C-alpha cells in the first residue's frame, strides 16, 4: 500500500527518508487548540485522528475535481508531538511568542519533562462508484482500519539562564517546535540526558512507527 505522510514537518519527513520509506506528503492543517480540561493523552490522540480526517477530506476533494489519480488503497500517517511537565497536566506546545517560550523554558529549566508523540496509521480504500454516494465523509475513500500508538520519552534540562534563552529564541529555531526546542539542533545543548526514544523527541518515534506500518500492511 502507498503511504501518505499528512504532515508539513520537515523533521518527520527526514526521519522517514532515513528509513528508506517510499511516501508522498500531504499537509493537513487543523485547529490545534486544546479543549478546557482535556488531558494530554486525549489531546494528542484527538489531534492525530483529526489530521487523518482532514487529509482524507482533501484527497476526496481532489478526486472529485479530477485533479489526481491515486492508488485504490493508502495508508495515511499522522502524528502530533507535545511536551508534558511532571504534573502530568501542563502541556508544552509550539510557542506563540518569546514570552510564551520563556514561560515554558523556565518550567523546564533544571527539571525533567516528557515528550509524547501520538502516531496514527489510517488505512483507506477507494470506493468504485462516486456517483451514488451522498455523504461528504464517504465520497472517494472510506476508512478500512486505523491504529494509534503513543510514545513517551523523558528529557532532563540543565539550568537555563536568561541570556541562554534570549540567544536561543533569537536563533529562530524554537518557533515551530513543541516545547520550543529542537534536540536535533541548537536545543541539544540544553539536554543533559534522555530516557527513551531519541527520534520521538525529534518528532516521530521511528522504529515504533515503522512497526505500526508493517502491522497494518500485514492485515
- Domains in the chain and their CATH numbers? 2-218 (3.90.950.10)
Q: Kindly state the DSSP code that residue 130 receives in the 8-state scheme.
A: G
Identify whether the C-beta of residue 179 lies closer than 8 Å to the C-beta of residue 187. Answer: no
Per-residue confidence (pLDDT) for residue 70, from 0 to 100? 67
Count Cβ atoms within 10 A of the Cβ of residue 34 and give its class: 0-12 exposed, 13-18 middle, 19 or more buried: middle
Structure-block grid coordinates of residue 1 = 500500500
Per-residue pLDDT of the chain (219 residues; tens, 9 = 90+): 899 999 988 999 999 999 999 999 998 889 888 999 999 999 999 999 999 999 999 988 887 776 666 678 899 999 999 999 999 999 999 999 999 999 999 999 999 999 999 999 999 998 765 445 444 444 588 899 999 999 999 999 999 999 999 999 999 999 989 899 999 999 999 999 999 999 999 999 999 999 999 998 887
Residue 80 is among the residues annotated as catalytic for this protein:
yes
Q: Which of 204, 214, 218 is nearest to 6 (CA)?
A: 204
Per-residue confidence (pLDDT) for residue 209, from 0 to 100? 97
Per-residue confidence (pLDDT) for residue 14, from 0 to 100? 95
Of 2, 29, 80, 215, which residue is the catalytic one? 80
Amino acid at each position: 500500500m502507498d503511504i501518505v505522510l499528512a504532515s508539513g514537518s520537515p523533521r518527520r519527513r527526514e526521519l522517514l527518508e532515513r528509513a528508506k520509506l517510499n511516501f508522498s506528503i500531504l499537509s493537513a492543517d487543523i485547529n490545534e487548540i486544546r479543549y478546557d480540561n482535556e488531558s494530554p493523552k486525549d489531546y494528542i490522540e484527538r489531534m492525530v485522528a483529526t489530521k487523518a480526517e482532514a487529509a482524507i477530506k482533501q484527497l476526496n476533494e481532489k478526486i472529485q475535481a479530477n485533479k489526481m489519480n491515486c492508488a485504490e488503497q493508502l495508508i495515511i500517517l499522522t502524528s502530533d508531538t507535545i511536551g508534558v511537565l511532571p504534573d502530568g497536566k501542563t502541556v508544552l506546545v509550539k510557542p506563540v511568542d518569546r514570552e510564551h517560550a520563556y514561560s515554558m523554558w523556565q518550567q523546564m529549566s533544571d527539571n525533567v519533562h516528557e515528550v509524547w508523540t501520538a502516531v496514527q496509521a489510517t488505512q483507506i480504500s477507494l470506493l468504485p462508484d462516486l456517483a451514488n454516494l451522498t455523504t461528504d465523509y464517504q465520497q472517494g475513500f472510506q476508512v478500512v482500519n486505523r491504529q494509534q500508538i503513543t510514545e513517551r520519552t523523558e528529557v532532563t534540562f540543565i539550568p537555563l539562564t536568561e541570556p541562554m534563552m534570549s540567544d536561543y529564541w533569537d536563533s529562530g529555531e524554537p518557533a515551530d517546535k513543541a516545547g520550543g526546542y529542537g534536540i536535533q539542533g541548537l536545543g541539544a545543548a540544553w539536554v543533559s540526558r534522555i530516557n527513551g526514544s531519541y527520534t520521538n523527541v525529534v518528532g516521530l518515534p521511528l522504529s515504533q512507527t515503522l512497526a505500526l506500518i508493517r502491522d497494518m500492511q500485514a492485515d
